[in-house]
Structure 1
Amino acid sequence: MLEPWKQTLRSVLIAGITGILCYAPATAQQTTPKQEDPSLEIYRSSATRINDLVNTKLDVRFDYAKRYLYGKAWVTLKPHFYTTDSLTLDAKEMEIKQVELVKGGKNTPLKYTYDGSQLHIQLDRSYKAAESYTIYIDYISKPEEIKAQGSAAITDAKGLYFINPDGAEKDKPVQIWTQGETEANSVWFPTIDKTNQKTTEEISMTVDKKYVTLSNGKLVSQKNNADGTRTDTWKMDLPHAPYLFMMAVGDYAIVKDQWKGKEVNYYVEKAYAPYAKAIFGNTPEMLTFYSNLLGYEYPWVKYSQVVARDYVSGAMENTTATLHGDFVQKTSRELLDNNHYDEAVIAHELFHHWFGDLTTAESWSNLTLNESFADYSEYLWLSYKYGKDMADDHAYKAMKSYLQFTQYAGDRDLVRFHYHDKEDMFDAISYQKGGRILNMLRNVVGDSAFFKSLNVYLKTNAFKSAEAHQLRLAFEEVSGQDLNWFFNQWYFGQGYPVLDISSSYDATAKKVTVTVQQQQAGDKVYRLPVAIDIYANGKKQRHNVIIDSKVSTFTLPSASQPDLVNFDADKVLLAVKKENRDISTYVFQYSHAPQYLDRREAIEACLKEQAANAEARKVVLAALKDKFYGLRALTINGLKLDDPEMKAQALPVLRTLAEKDESSTVRAAALTQLGTLQDIQLTSLFETATKDSSYAAAGAALEALAALDLDKAYALGKQLEKDSRGALSTAIVAVYAKKGSENDIDFFAKTFNDASGQEKVDAAVLYLTILAKVDNTDAVLKGVEQIQKMAKLFNNKMINEGLAGMLLPIADSKAKQASIASADKKAGLLKQSDYMKKVAGELKN
């Protein structure tokens, strides 16, 4: 078990890093009052279109030492409607060398002013809407001079990133990559950096011959140069938004695939080339699935995916060239424990190529038109490929993420025209809440109408930008229904219903009365179409009702006392529900109601009663063999083995699950639960399980063994080091933290360096544990510096404060040790203490 401060730090990461894409319910929903933040008074409209981008041609080369891009741009535009004699381009922190009009085969200098953010150009004359013109700009991009802040979702806004440019970090590749969303691509090329602009594109990149390149569209030429460089030209013939432009340069392996004659390529670090198909190999099937589902075939010329080191987000849907953080690079053994999480990310970014890239939210206020669909695509793919249980589990966790988000950040409208900063739109509301709202809309109109409406929306708005009302109009055109009520309630409003549900049976009248009270704060009353299933006499009868008042009462027929009144039988409502019913109904529900959430609700209710109620205990024991691995693991984690009867009945099942279950998640959960018994008779089981093919299961076994025999666990850890990642590495360093010494510090550093995302913060916690024990000043300073770099990359205030809270007591301890240490050790200990305090102070600020 993690110590309390470690648990806090872990929960902070979950809230701070996976708040999107990447939580507990409550009835109180608060937002920041406008008077406390004047920026919330600003109406965030779509950008006014004075000039429209038509084509963007770039010629770029890179200065690794200075981290500069030397660029030439030819930007073709035309007035949107009104005649104009001027042009404003976004161009952040550039050195502008020339601005000229390209006309009649020659360039003519133009007058301009530049304020470090925008380039204001006086054209040679007034141009009408039908007249296009081309501007040539010679410039230098200096991304390291950008002061713009990122967000929880996209932690930096430099636009252009040089990774390990001098090659000083031996275990890190040299790379260049870009990140355009929200408006950071105008750091590396001048443009109108707004979502309601669309342009075709051509990019020529001059790079060292040893590197490969990737950009949007098709690679149309490669030219070797006399100086040992090569110029690659990528061309995009279909228009897309400027924030979706991308470049990547590096020593990548290109693993080739295809779909209907189109290139489908995977750019990975060479060590991961053998695993690229295991990581990305379902992409062609996804392309077929989404194309068929939407009735709109993937429209772009190719689809490539590239992995970037030190990426500032999770992944980015750059048109035809998605960029992923390096967390997706996994060996076959690591993938055993992934439970298709990374595959959901891959699906998410691909679906953006319809919702976001083809049809783009016309403003950041409408971001959910991009992100809610990408979020929901994860559900669609998991359901199709792995079954509805897995998809429902994914959706349930997404809903919980949104509900927990409201606890520390308050709630807001899904489509919101008032926000502090555009970066704030990237939250669990735009993503997870939006995805759950789409699922409810699907339930309201039915499957056929839902997907036909998406087809109409895409066809109507292809290669254009759109707002939420256009989505509504597409649904109304197909369904024939007025859906203003749904969009006003969910898209242009905030919050969620909090429902208290009770039922009673009148044997004389043979009627079931269901009462639903809406108990959310405030005056808002939700309209909620919902299904109620009544189970009686071995039959199920469905009743579709509409809740539309603070207290809604429904009287429904039933020939006998129901075994179960199943409210929200389709399990689609985005709501917090309290159902007032007996444990016997949950016992019945587990065996008879089919949905994942039916079974989950029953398991959770029965786990609470497992010691006191024999029927509940039977459900718990049955759930240990549930068909879905996630519910098996949930049940294992909730077992109360301090109850003698439960222990006696569950122990044989747990042993079997630990040894033989097909899911590594279940094996790991069973081993962890068995470890709580600290039973010496289980030693051989744990020892054997440390050789499990799953890192998660092997790690759980090692930690369980350590509680019984730390010396044996330490010795085994030494043997397992050579092939350890993820949970196994974490388990090894946890053992070393208890018994290890300065000699083990290299493994702590390696584990930390290899980890990403959640695992990296877990590794940081354990890294600090060993750094607190050792006297090697160089090793301690290096370790703290590594952790500080991680914190800068995550750029999350809560994580930084958590790390600072760990560093300060360690620093105090080092100072106390120094006060009694010998002269030769005192200086080193004080240096360690001072450095930790310095880093803690920087993290807090």
Structure 2
Amino acid sequence: MKKLSLIILALGILPGLWAQQQEEAAPDTSWKKVYRESAPRINDLVHTKLDVKFDFSKSYMNGKAWITLAPHFYPTDSLTLDAKGMDIQKVAIVKGASSQPLKYKYDGWNLNIDLDKSYKGGEKYTVYIEYTAKPDEVKVQGSAAITDAKGLYFINPKGEEKDKPTQIWTQGETEATSVWCPTIDKPGQKTTNEINMTVPAKYATLSNGKLVSQKANADGTRTDAWKMELPHAPYLFFMGVGEYSIIKDTYKGKEVNYYVEKEYAPVAKKIFGHTPEMMGFFSKVLGVEYPWVKYSQIVGRDYVSGAMENTTATLHQESAQQDARELIDGNSWESTIAHELFHQWFGDLVTCESWSNLTLNESFANYSETLWDEYKYGKDAGDAQNFGDMQGYIQSQSEKKDLVRFYYNDKEAMFDAVSYNKGGRILNMLRSYVGDSAFFKSLNLYLTTNKFKSAEAHQLRLAFEEVTGKDMNWFWNQWYFGAGHPKLSIDYAYDDNAKTVQVTVKQTQAGDKVFTLPVAIDIYTGAEKVRHNVWINDKEETFTFPYTTRPDLVNVDGQKTLLAEKKDNKTLENFIHQYKYAGLYLDRREAIDFASRNQDNPKAQELLLTALKDKYQGLRSFAMGKLDMKNETVRKKAEPILEELAQRDPKSKVRASALAALSQYNNGAYKSLFTKNVNDSSYTVAGTALESLFKLDSAAAVAEAKRLAKYPAKGKLVEVMTTTLVKSGDENSFDIIAKAFDDMPISQAKFNLLQPFCEFLAVVKDTKRVKKGVDLVIEFRDALAAYGLTPYVNNLLKGVITKKTAASAAATDKTSAQEQIDYINAKIEGDKKGF
């Protein structure tokens, strides 16, 4: 599972806010005493066979299930299945070609069955169930990762929304497969399965495993039979239905398919086309070949999360579908594609045995994004991904949460920046500590030992201990079964008489916990580096190193792998040397950041100007964002470099950053540059150019925005175009603005547009338009309810009411304004969602 919040909102604090509201603000804290053990295994799933038909008019699914099980160890004469919100029509035991009814009790949540006899451990039996699934009538709670949990989703089932396709897709994690399939809905269960789907013949289908047959029916439907011959967890069961273009690819003779809406067929391979290379890379580094019969990826409308790693059949939200102009800026979905693919090993092949151990799934998928970027785009790209994810964890303010958690309010609360981001950074530290060879060999041992089974964190530890010969309890106790991270203050004292340098490291985090940290300390004299590997074991430690010539730099955490917040008390000269000679992404980023706080110093200015030409595009943009444009010297020296970058940098995002920086000069000479770039093929460049043009000539920018509104636009361009029209205050632009807002998928851009859109509604006088705009805001609010943003959106709407109330006081006709105010109040007070 790739979390929606971290993908689309780019606000790392949201997962923390949601979990904090769930666990700390909840009035009932009894959960703090409830130990979340792994689910007991009384019966084991062996095989699940389904025949299903869909009632699009009611959003129902009619199902027949043959479920083969066996007692885990002890004899049993009963079976309890999870079956949420179903109509149960028949329950029977299968005896060869016949069956006999069984007694059962059903409370709408669990199906308790009396078997025909007591079965011994390992003795197989098959129950047959006829049922109707009614997902829209099931009331379940989602999470910040998964905003709904009704398992089976009918999208535009009656075709009433003209611009939206009709689709069906399922979402099983955490325990929602049991909304549409009676099962033992726990991650510790493993079963093979087969699903026969009968659908209108115009639709394509996708499920786990291989498509083994297709049968045309006399009524215009078709039955597709999918078979999964290797065991996996029930939450990974998947069904997808809809009108798709299926773009075919291969990996070592295995099918690799991309299911996209027809308009994206020409660019499907630009979006998903690295998949076979990813499969090869991950197979090689893990020493475990891609384990399943095929790999397909499908895009679903209105998906409740970012993406989901259903075995052999990953589901992505619609943001994965990018047009050719978006892809000029790079594939924003590529890390998610890597994330879900890596789950096919970590999560699908070996599954966490309980949600307490979720990080065994998610930390690896998260870390795969760093591994892929490092392999494909270089060390800087991998380090940038790693750093960004570390900041996501730190900003989540989750220091009190253990990585492996046996106490939580709800299993959904496990899907947070700790299980994902922190877990991934811990793997990065572990890789640094044991070395690449041992790290990947340990992962290989973990996967091969536990394949097709479930596991807990100690089994990962045992694999590392077996390979390295080291006791790893200290690491697991500190990072997996503990909370928080170190906050370090680092000081340096040079003694030229004694020819020594003392490095003092203080741990300043709150509380009594002291972290044990293996750290590389690099000492530079010119370009020459000497590395000292030390252990930090105390709250404050001092290390003394001799020198012949006073070092130019002492670099603590030379590998830049610590999960920590650091106050590194180096001099500007130290940081300049670090930028030039230490050379890692974080070395350079730290130096740029320090120089940006000392821009009155000519040496700091020189470093920043050098960084504008850094070899890594992300740091070029970072340096631009740090320039102090109020400093005349910086402003003057940076200008020719910025102009050069704006016109000639090979990376579109860097060109956009340069245009944004040039807009701060308020120089009419750049109007032609901005106007020219409004038509750039990159949405990011075009949008930034339009934004920059608005600062120089708002009328010209509004005219350009109206012209551009006639053509398809996405990303930064549609965000700025719409904001520009909003700022113009021209009510006649309402239809353009509302359509642009409505067409945008749930995204950071749409979130950014929310406030100016509400400000625009405050000046719109037409009641029909106001109501339409408010409805769009409410729809977006409710889609984000699980993130705790409802109060924020409601406050924006209250601001609209305040302005309309003030305007009404001076108006002759107060009727329309009051109708609008009443309508907004009703929407705010209506279906209250969120926390």
Q: 2:753 aligns with which of 739, 750, 763?
A: 763
Q: 1:580 aligns with which of 547, 565, 569?
A: 569
2:112 alignment partner, SS class: strand
Cα pair distance change 1:35/1:156, threshold 3 Å: closer
- 1:461 counterpart residue number: 450
Cα pair distance change 1:320/1:290, threshold 3 Å: same
Q: Residues of 1 paired with 2:356 and 2:733: CA distance? A: 51
Shift of 1:592: 1.1
Structure 1 range deviating more: 256-265 or 32-41: 32-41
Q: 2:192 aligns with which of 174, 192, 200?
A: 200
- 1:620 counterpart residue number: 608
Report matched runs for 1:62-73 at 5 Å.
62-73=54-65
Task: Give me the TM-score of the superposition, normalised by structure 1.
Answer: 0.95
- 2:706 counterpart residue number: 718
- 1:609 counterpart residue number: 598
Report if aligned partners of 1:12, 1:798 keep a CA contact under 8 Å in 2: no
Q: Residues of 2 paired with 1:44 and 1:202: CA distance? A: 31
Which digits, 9 at most, give the CA deviation of each residue in 1:712-739, with x for residues without a partner? 1111112222142111111111111121
- 2:537 counterpart residue number: 548
Shift of 1:17: 8.7
2:592 alignment partner, SS class: helix
Matched, 1:151 2:143: yes
Shift of 1:748: 1.6
- 1:397 counterpart residue number: 388
Q: Residues of 1 paired with 2:254 and 2:527: CA distance? A: 53
- 2:651 counterpart residue number: 663
Q: 1:643 aligns with which of 624, 631, 646?
A: 631
- 1:167 counterpart residue number: 159
Which digits, 9 at most, give the CA deviation of each residue in 1:403-461, with x for residues without a partner? 1101xx55300001001100000000000000000000111111100000000000000
Matched residue type, 2:799 = P
Shift of 1:744: 1.5
Matched, 1:804 2:794: yes
Report matched runs for 1:90-101 at 5 Å.
90-101=82-93
Cα pair distance change 1:575/1:843, threshold 3 Å: farther
**Which ranges in structure 1 are unaligned for 5 or more consecutive residues?**
1-8, 23-27
Q: Residues of 2 paired with 1:16 and 1:203: CA distance? A: 38
Cα pair distance change 1:311/1:34, threshold 3 Å: closer
Matched, 1:777 2:773: no
- 2:513 counterpart residue number: 524
Report matched runs for 1:371-410 at 5 Å.
371-406=362-397
- 1:700 counterpart residue number: 688
Q: Residues of 2 paired with 1:570 and 1:335: CA distance? A: 33
Q: 2:420 aligns with which of 421, 428, 431?
A: 431
Shift of 1:755: 2.0
Q: Residues of 1 paired with 2:153 and 2:779: CA distance? A: 15
Q: Residues of 1 paired with 2:642 and 2:500: CA distance? A: 44
Q: Residues of 2 paired with 1:182 and 1:170: CA distance? A: 32
Q: Residues of 2 paired with 1:205 and 1:829: CA distance? A: 53
Matched, 1:78 2:70: yes
Shift of 1:10: 13
1:817 alignment partner, SS class: helix
Shift of 1:781: 1.5
2:296 alignment partner, SS class: strand
Q: 1:49 aligns with which of 41, 51, 69?
A: 41
Structure 1 range deviating more: 442-451 or 30-39: 30-39
Report if aligned partners of 1:402, 1:428 keep a CA contact under 8 Å in 2: yes
Q: Residues of 2 paired with 1:11 and 1:780: CA distance? A: 31
Matched residue type, 2:548 = A
- 1:591 counterpart residue number: 580
The runs of 4+ residues in structure 1 deviating greater than 3 Å are 9-20, 30-36, 815-823, 842-845
Q: Residues of 2 paired with 1:107 and 1:16: CA distance? A: 54
2:765 alignment partner, SS class: coil
Which digits, 9 at most, give the CA deviation of each residue in 1:290-312, with x for residues without a partner? 00110000010000000011100
- 2:477 counterpart residue number: 488
Matched residue type, 1:378 = E
Report if aligned partners of 1:801, 1:844 keep a CA contact under 8 Å in 2: no
- 1:136 counterpart residue number: 128
Q: 1:364 aligns with which of 340, 346, 355?
A: 355
Shift of 1:226: 1.1
Report if aligned partners of 2:351, 2:453 keep a CA contact under 8 Å in 1: yes
Shift of 1:783: 2.1
Structure 1 range deviating more: 742-751 or 248-257: 742-751
Q: Residues of 1 paired with 2:757 and 2:221: CA distance? A: 42
1:700 alignment partner, SS class: helix
Shift of 1:501: 0.8
Which digits, 9 at most, give the CA deviation of each residue in 1:230-253, with x for residues without a partner? 111111000000000011111111
2:396 alignment partner, SS class: helix
Q: 2:546 aligns with which of 531, 540, 557?
A: 557
Matched, 1:813 2:803: yes
Q: Residues of 2 paired with 1:765 and 1:418: CA distance? A: 38
Shift of 1:552: 1.2
Report if aligned partners of 1:690, 1:699 keep a CA contact under 8 Å in 2: yes
Q: Residues of 1 paired with 2:104 and 2:820: CA distance? A: 53
1:573 alignment partner, SS class: coil
Q: Residues of 2 paired with 1:317 and 1:10: CA distance? A: 17
Q: Percent identity?
A: 56
Matched, 1:279 2:275: no
- 2:342 counterpart residue number: 351
Which digits, 9 at most, give the CA deviation of each residue in 1:461-493, with x for residues without a partner? 000000000000000000000000000000000
Which digits, 9 at most, give the CA deviation of each residue in 1:173-226, with x for residues without a partner? 111111000001100010000000000001011111111111101111111111
Shift of 1:749: 2.3
Shift of 1:261: 0.8
Q: Residues of 1 paired with 2:393 and 2:8: CA distance? A: 15
Report if aligned partners of 1:208, 1:228 keep a CA contact under 8 Å in 2: yes
Matched residue type, 1:564 = L
Q: Residues of 2 paired with 1:17 and 1:745: CA distance? A: 33
Report if aligned partners of 2:13, 2:395 keep a CA contact under 8 Å in 1: no
Report if aligned partners of 2:15, 2:787 keep a CA contact under 8 Å in 1: no
Report matched runs for 1:227-242 at 5 Å.
227-242=219-234
Task: Give me the TM-score of the superposition, normalised by structure 2.
Answer: 0.96
Q: Residues of 2 paired with 1:95 and 1:367: CA distance? A: 32
Q: How large is the RMSD of aligned CA atoms in angstroms?
A: 2.1
Structure 1 range deviating more: 576-585 or 792-801: 792-801
**Which ranges in structure 2 are unaligned for 5 or more consecutive residues?**
none
Cα pair distance change 1:377/1:18, threshold 3 Å: farther
